[in-house]
């Protein structure tokens, strides 16, 4: 069996979603520049003015074989598709699709100038499509091929990106999802050092409201998305101690590894998490060697795919550092299900963005009672739905 074609599908579907979208946005690194702070991202759909149903578009990658089997990965970005077409098509054609380690190494060596960032994200999508294909060829969910299942269901934490950070709304939304069975929540910090003392009070009001709503037994996490600095983070930690935050996420820029390590040493009982914007086992090893984080958050769809994330999990387990991947949808479910509970204890569930891909999927990812139940279908569970998905364009990328 050989790979004989790569294709992309540009698809659309209707998302009948009736909760508020884009009520608030987190602080971002570029917000120090006023002209960039004004360019708020559209999340998770481009046009919310008209209300539901929303038209949602995406791309899916397909890898076909000369025996008729195909692997699929999606949604993927248009930029991913362009990189795959330009850099990886010729490498994949003619390869044994089950020789995933060989293919990964060839792609990595061929794109040596793309070891991080968008080229590695595109490589990750190819790796995931290959694992989907392998699972279908062997008639098994991918987590079984990786050594699982380690459990029947995965505890999910509710990631509240896009929801209002007005304290009364934080209380309302936290209680709403608490009633749905979630026992851990992550809220996104609205302010950064440039916002001064009023910003500190606003951040603290979010933390206080979240704890008031969640009660004493839930885990609460707070994401600064690389927008803070060391003194500001340490002050936020001290001011929020009485509310028992579990972790502060990405408090400083990803490349400031010594500063991460300093924060971890000084945080005294509050965890520092990061790694979402790091790539491959080598990037993660630099974080681990520096003692930079208490929780690793590499993304299975960015950091090198499942082939690389299994290596990252092995590295992290040797340092006794848990891996709680940056969302990742179904691929994260398969990864976590293949790992020991101590290595991968929990999965992020972005309430808004995580639900968007379901409009395309045959197998919907829907937490029940705050947990994600393991899928039983062969592959990575990213097959397109039989109805409700329109193909806007099909392109052959190689072959």
- State the DSSP string of 75-142: EE-HHHHHHIIIIIHHHHTTS-TT-HHHHHHHHHHHTGGGSSSHHHHHHHHHHHHHHHHHHHHHTSBH
pLDDT of residue 232: 98
The mean pLDDT value for 134-151 works out to 98
pLDDT of residue 211: 98
Helix (H, G, I), strand (E, B) or coil at 234: helix
Name the percent of the chain lying above pLDDT 90.
90
Shortest CA distance to 229 belongs to which of 266, 256, 196, 200? 256
Shortest CA distance to 88 belongs to which of 68, 105, 71? 105
Query: Please, which residues have CB within 8 angstroms of residue 176's CB and are 6 or more apart in sequence?
Result: none
**Which bin fits 161, alpha (ψ -120 to 50), beta or left (φ > 0)?**
beta
The mean pLDDT value for 65-71 works out to 98
Q: Residue 218 — very low, low, confident or very high, per pLDDT cuts 50/70/90?
A: very high
pLDDT of residue 290: 98
- pLDDT, tens digit, for every residue of 359-371? 999 999 999 999 9
Could you tell me the sign of the dihedral formed by the alpha carbons of 44, 47, 52, 57, in that order?
negative
All structural domains of the chain, each given as residue ranges with its CATH number in brackets, are 3-16+53-139+386-398 (3.30.390.10), 144-373 (3.20.20.120)
123, 104 Cβ separation under 8 angstroms: yes
Using alpha carbons only, give the angle 56, 59, 61 rounded to the nearest 5 degrees: 150
Crossing angle of the two packed helices 257-266 and 280-289, in degrees rounded to 10: 40
Crossing angle of the two packed helices 196-214 and 230-240, in degrees rounded to 10: 40
Residue 41 neighbours by CB distance under 10 Å: 11
Shortest CA distance to 307 belongs to which of 340, 281, 269? 281
The mean pLDDT value for 202-229 works out to 98
Q: Residue 106 — very low, low, confident or very high, per pLDDT cuts 50/70/90?
A: very high
Mean pLDDT, the chain, integer: 96
Q: Residue 29 — very low, low, confident or very high, per pLDDT cuts 50/70/90?
A: very high
pLDDT of residue 281: 98
The mean pLDDT value for 15-24 works out to 84
> pTM for this one?
0.97
| Element containing residue 20 per DSSP (H, E) | none
The mean pLDDT value for 165-191 works out to 97
Spatial distance between the Cα atoms of 328 and 380, rounded to a whole number of angstroms: 12
Q: Would you please indicate which residues are annotated as catalytic (active-site) residues?
A: 326
Spatial distance between the Cα atoms of 372 and 322, rounded to a whole number of angstroms: 18
Q: Which residue has the higher pLDDT, 28 or 208?
A: 208
pLDDT of residue 42: 65
Residue 352 scores a pLDDT above 80: yes
| Element containing residue 74 per DSSP (H, E) | strand 70-76
Q: Residue 21 — very low, low, confident or very high, per pLDDT cuts 50/70/90?
A: confident
The mean pLDDT value for 385-392 works out to 97
Q: Residue 308 — very low, low, confident or very high, per pLDDT cuts 50/70/90?
A: very high
Query: Please, which residues have CB within 8 angstroms of residue 11's CB and are 6 or more apart in sequence?
Result: 57, 58, 59, 60, 360, 384, 389, 390, 391, 392
Residue 51 scores a pLDDT above 90: no
Question: Is the peptide bond between 149 and the residue preceding it cis, with omega within 30 degrees of 0?
Answer: yes
301, 127 Cβ separation under 8 angstroms: no
Residue 41 scores a pLDDT above 80: no
- pLDDT, tens digit, for every residue of 255-302? 999 999 999 999 999 999 999 999 999 999 999 999 999 999 999 999
**Which bin fits 157, alpha (ψ -120 to 50), beta or left (φ > 0)?**
beta
First to last CA, the chain: 15
SS3 content of the chain, % helix, strand, coil (to 5): 40, 20, 40
Spatial distance between the Cα atoms of 366 and 79, rounded to a whole number of angstroms: 28
Shortest CA distance to 128 belongs to which of 100, 149, 91? 100
Name the percent of the chain lying above pLDDT 70.
98
Q: Residue 183 — very low, low, confident or very high, per pLDDT cuts 50/70/90?
A: very high
188, 165 Cβ separation under 8 angstroms: yes
pLDDT of residue 214: 98
Q: Which residue has the higher pLDDT, 270 or 353?
A: 270
pLDDT of residue 43: 65
Q: Residue 39 — very low, low, confident or very high, per pLDDT cuts 50/70/90?
A: confident
The mean pLDDT value for 154-170 works out to 96
Q: Residue 346 — very low, low, confident or very high, per pLDDT cuts 50/70/90?
A: very high
Q: Residue 239 — very low, low, confident or very high, per pLDDT cuts 50/70/90?
A: very high
């Amino acid at each position: 069996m050989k790979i004989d074609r790569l294709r992309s599908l540009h698809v659309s579907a209707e998302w009948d979603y009736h909760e508020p979208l884009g009520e608030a946005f987190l602080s971002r690194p570029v917000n120090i520049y006023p002209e960039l702070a004004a360019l708020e991202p559209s999340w998770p759909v481009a046009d919310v003015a008209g209300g539901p149903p929303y038209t949602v578009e995406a791309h899916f990658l397909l890898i076909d074989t000369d025996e008729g089997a195909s692997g699929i990965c999606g949604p993927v970005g248009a930029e991913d598709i362009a990189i795959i077409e330009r850099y990886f098509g010729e490498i994949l054609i003619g390869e044994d699709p089950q020789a995933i380690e060989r293919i990964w190494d060839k792609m990595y060596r061929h794109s040596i100038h793309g070891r991080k960032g968008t080229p590695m994200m595109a490589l990750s999508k190819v790796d995931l499509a290959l694992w989907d294909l392998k699972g279908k060829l062997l008639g098994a969910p991918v987590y079984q091929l990786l050594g699982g299942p380690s459990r029947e269901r995965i505890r999910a934490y509710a990631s509240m990106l896009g929801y209002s950070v007005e304290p009364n709304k934080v209380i309302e939304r936290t209680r709403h999802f608490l009633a749905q069975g979630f026992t851990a929540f992550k809220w996104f910090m609205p302010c950064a050092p440039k916002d001064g003392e009023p910003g500190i009070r606003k951040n603290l009001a979010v933390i206080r409201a979240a704890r008031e709503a969640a009660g004493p037994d839930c885990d609460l996490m707070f994401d600064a998305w690389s927008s803070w600095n060391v003194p500001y983070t340490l002050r936020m930690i001290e001011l929020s101690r009485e509310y028992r935050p579990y972790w502060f996420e990405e408090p400083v820029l990803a490349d400031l590894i010594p500063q991460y390590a300093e924060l971890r040493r000084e945080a005294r009982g509050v965890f520092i998490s990061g790694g979402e914007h790091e790539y491959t086992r080598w990037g993660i090893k630099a974080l681990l060697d520096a003692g930079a984080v208490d929780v690793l958050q590499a993304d299975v769809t960015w950091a090198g795919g499942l082939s690389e994330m299994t290596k990252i999990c092995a590295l992290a387990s040797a340092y006794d550092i848990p891996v709680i991947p940056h969302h990742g949808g179904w691929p994260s479910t398969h990864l976590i299900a293949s790992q020991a509970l101590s290595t991968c204890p929990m999965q992020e569930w972005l309430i808004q963005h995580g639900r968007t891909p379901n409009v395309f999927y045959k197998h919907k990812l829907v937490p029940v009672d705050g947990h994600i139940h393991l899928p039983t279908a062969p592959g990575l569970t990213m097959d397109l739905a039989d109805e409700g998905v329109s193909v806007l364009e099909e392109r052959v990328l190689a072959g």
